[in-house]
Each structure stands twice: as structure tokens, then as C-alpha cells.
Structure 1
């Protein structure tokens, strides 16, 4: 019922859903560009409309009272960005124990402009041996969903170039805040 309702709402708002025909049971979904709080609203609608049982990571401050419980029920996993402690290994272990696991990560790590992407998603996908899903919300085109699923080669330069080619021309709500698709760390 939520799937149908979300699809209707997105259609009424003028959005077209993009979803490749083959969907793997496990993947790291990249949420790019992430330039506005509205991205989260649309991402939730897209998650429901596509029937994705996706989990997502967010800064731990999003999980405080009074909305913390709701955030967890919506699939949120809090992370303390000030004190990284084996996050990549922890997420790779989640893939090993859950046969149907989709993990959403904003590779920029913020809605603000940065000089590039953090590599955590890449290291998680390689460690878990899962593809990367290129999820997006393109405001000018009013399109959203998943562009493609990529199996990483293990060569960071090759993989980031392939990712950049897929996202070329896609714009967030505030394009000036979209970080360039290149490695930060």
C-alpha cells in the first residue's frame, strides 16, 4: 500500500522513477547529489515507491530524542563521525549476516560543498563484495531512483571515473553545493 501511495504522490508531484530491471539483493547505494534537506524526504518516497528495504547511515545527532526512534524505524543507523571506530568492518559484517541488505550512504558526508567524496562507501563495497548502486534525485529533470549498479574493479581511479560518467548532468536542489566526484581522502 505504501509503495502504491508513494508512486502516486511522486507522479502527482511530476517525478519520474528510474529503476534498472535487475536489482541485486545486496548493494551500497550512493545518494548523490545530497544538497538539501528535501533530499531526505524524496529519498524516503523513492525508497517506498521502489520497494527498497534499505538502511541508511546518518550523523548520530539525527537520532536524539524526540525523533531518534522514528529515524531508527525508518532504517537509520547512527554514526559518530567524530570518533570513527571500525565502521567499514562493521558495515561489511552486516552484509555477511543479512542476505538482503541495501546500505544508503551519501559519499559527500554532508549537504555542504566539499572538495570531493569520502571513500567509506568504496571500502565497504569492496570488503563486502557487493556492487554500488548509483541512486539520485535530479531536480531539474524531476527524475529520481537508481541509475545503475556497478561492480567495483578495485582500482579507485577507474571506479570513480565510471561513477562520475553515470552521474554526469544530474543536479541536486542546490547544484552549487554538489561536491565534485573525486576522492577526498
Structure 2
């Protein structure tokens, strides 16, 4: 039901989903560009339309009744953003506890212009020993794609340049807010 409804809604809105990668049991999904709240809706619909389910990180403060149950059912993972708490360790622990887990993370970490992409998604994948799936939302083409896997090499700076380079030609909903810094 979710798959059919998601597919119907995307098609009605003129979107298409292009997927060439297998459904990995565990992965970190790096999603860019991220300049609008619509990115979450389009991305969630796209992933559901192909019969896959991915979690997303959200501040633990939002997980109060009754919203907490709703967010968890949608894949929300409460994380503490306290400076004393290591989000990477929290997520690696979840990967280690579960047989199947995919989490979508926007490295820009904001919808505003930000060339300094966060590297947490990279360290989570590296720590959990899982692939990074590079997913994009291209508003100009009205296309959501899941077409490339990236395996961290350990050279964080070179890997981040390669990841940013992959995304540089995709079109954000608010193009003025999408910066790779390349």
C-alpha cells in the first residue's frame, strides 16, 4: 500500500525515480542537495516507492508523546546533539545491533548555503563498515536517483572532494542555497 501510494503521488507530481543499486541490508544514504523541507517529503516518497525503508536522524527532543511514536514509525532515530554525546558512536551502535538498517543523512546539515559539509555520515559508514549510497534529488529534472555507491578510503578530505564532485551538477529546489565548495 505504501509503495503504490508513494509511486502514485510522485508520478502525479511529475517525479521519476532512477535506481541502479541493490537494496543493501545496511548502508548510510548520503542525500544532496538539501535546500528545502520538500527534500524530506520527495526523498521519503521516492524510497518508499521502490519498496525500501530508511531511517533519518532527528533531535531527541522531538520524540515526546505522541510525536515520538509517529517519528519512530517513519524511521526517525532520536539522537542527542549534546556536545558530550558522540552521534557517530550512537549510529554505529545501532548498525551493530540491527540485522537491517539504512539511514539517510544530508551532509550539508542545513537548508542554507553551506560549503562545509559535515563528515558524520562518512565516519558512521566507516565505523559500521557499511557502504555510502549517494542519493540525489534533482528539481530541474524532477528526478530522484540512487545510482552510486561510495566506499570510504580513509582519506577523508579526498573522499569528501569526490563526493561533493558527484553532486555538483544536480539542481536543488533553491539553487542559491546549494554549495559544494569545489
Shared fold per TM-score greater than 0.5: yes
Hey, what's the Cα distance between the residues in 1 that align with 2:171 and 2:103? 22
1:1-185 paired onto structure 2 within 5 Å: 1-64=1-64, 67-180=67-180
8 Å CA contact retained: 1:56, 1:77? yes
Hey, what's the Cα distance between the residues in 2 that align with 1:63 and 1:111? 22
8 Å CA contact retained: 1:117, 1:179? no
Task: Note closer, same or farther for the CA distance 1:13–1:103 as it changes in structure 2 (3 Å cut).
Answer: same
8 Å CA contact retained: 1:134, 1:148? yes
Hey, what's the Cα distance between the residues in 1 that align with 2:24 and 2:59? 27
Structure 2 residues without counterparts, runs of 5 or longer: none
8 Å CA contact retained: 2:59, 2:79? yes
Deviation at 1:66, TM superposition (A): 5.4
Hey, what's the Cα distance between the residues in 1 that align with 2:61 and 2:116? 23
Hey, what's the Cα distance between the residues in 2 that align with 1:142 and 1:131? 26
Task: Note closer, same or farther for the CA distance 1:132–1:181 as it changes in structure 2 (3 Å cut).
Answer: farther
Deviation at 1:101, TM superposition (A): 0.8
1:114-148 per-position Cα deviation (integer Å, ceiling 9, x unaligned): 23111111111111111101112111110013131
Deviation at 1:169, TM superposition (A): 0.9
Deviation at 1:86, TM superposition (A): 2.1
Hey, what's the Cα distance between the residues in 2 that align with 1:116 and 1:171? 18
Moved runs in structure 1, 4+ residues, more than 6 A?
none
TM-score of the pair, normalised by structure 1:
0.88
8 Å CA contact retained: 1:30, 1:107? yes
Q: Secondary structure of the equivalent of 1:30?
A: strand
RMSD over equivalenced CA pairs, Å:
1.9
TM-score of the pair, normalised by structure 2:
0.90
1:133-174 per-position Cα deviation (integer Å, ceiling 9, x unaligned): 111211111001313111111111331232123213111111
Task: Note closer, same or farther for the CA distance 1:164–1:115 as it changes in structure 2 (3 Å cut).
Answer: closer
Task: Note closer, same or farther for the CA distance 1:175–1:65 as it changes in structure 2 (3 Å cut).
Answer: farther
